[in-house]
Amino acid sequence: MDWTPAELLSLIHNAQGMPLPFGFQLLRENLLGMVRFLGLGFFDLDNFQANFDSKEFIDLLDTAMLLQSYVDIPFELFWDGPVMEVLRMEAGDQILSMVSFANPSTYQMFMESLDDSFALGLPTATGGEHIVTNYSTIGIGTSTNHTGAAWEFLRSFLLPSASEFDHGIMGDIGFPIRIDLFNELIEDVMTPRTFVNTDGETIEYPRETLNTHDGSGRVELRAMKPETANSFRALIESAVPAKRGIGEELWAIIEGDLAEFYAGARSAEETARIIQNRAERWLSEQQLLVGG
């Protein structure tokens, strides 16, 4: 299903009668943070263009103020946020969740705990997409004089010995580089954990139990269903690289202007105009640096 930023803003407006309709993961800062990582048509570094003074960006600023901010939410509620959001959605208190699927368990929790859920992907100017943000990449530079050494380094991520550390830098968070290790990961979460009781019956027990921070709720995960595994594979295969967003240097400048807006010191229109001017100056500097 494709959707655009305008459709997301419309949903936010229509859900104003509900308390925290988008949970703890889609807050004011998250909404505006999409501009940084996706551009959303307001920023194009490839063509040195900015469009922050548009009506669409002004609408985005005004709509963001309808959402709660991180400062409004008690810190402890962010622990095990996806578990709380599944429980809220089960209870009918939430209609949308912004989730990062960093392992199969989080995906399984949403898909098998809720009767009717699906992954929309992030809204973009061209429609919804399942986004993967590339924080870093590795490769061999075309100008290097040491291609042999560079290839030996890259091979270390592809050899069988890589299996010991190829499930992400934080244990079970992240996906393997190699397809065979990814297949092993899926096979593992689909394998039932069982024991035989005193009556000789084979009983399946939860593969994993995810709890809220305060212990008020829990979600038990057993062997992943084949249909869940298939949809998870499809989700991973449909992921696309994030568009070139706003770099850290410019975003740091923009964040200062957003803080003034949040504090009520500036209107959305004035904030948009200031951000547009700053972005145009920054883009002009970048264009000169590359000789454009």
| pLDDT for position 143 | 85
Say if CB 219 and CB 109 are below 8 A apart: yes
**Within a domain: residue 30?**
yes
pTM of the model: 0.81
**Within a domain: residue 232?**
no
Q: For all residues of the chain together, what is the average pLDDT?
A: 86
Strand partners of residue 209: 220
Residue-wise pLDDT for 170-228, tens only, equals 345 677 778 888 898 999 999 999 999 999 999 999 999 988 877 778 899 999 999 99
**Within a domain: residue 183?**
no
CATH number reported for the structural domain that contains residue 18 in this entry:
3.40.190
Number of structural domains, the chain?
A: 1
| pLDDT for position 204 | 95
**Within a domain: residue 13?**
yes
Can you give the residue range of the structural domain that contains 89? 5-133+243-289
**Within a domain: residue 14?**
yes
Query: Using alpha carbons only, what angle is made at residue 238 by residues 233 and 239, rounded to the nearest 5 degrees?
Result: 105
Q: Which residue carries 């899926």 as its tokens?
A: 186
State the CB neighbour count (10 A cutoff) for residue 149: 10
**Within a domain: residue 65?**
yes
Residue-wise pLDDT for 17-29, tens only, equals 888 899 888 899 9
**Within a domain: residue 59?**
yes
**Within a domain: residue 186?**
no
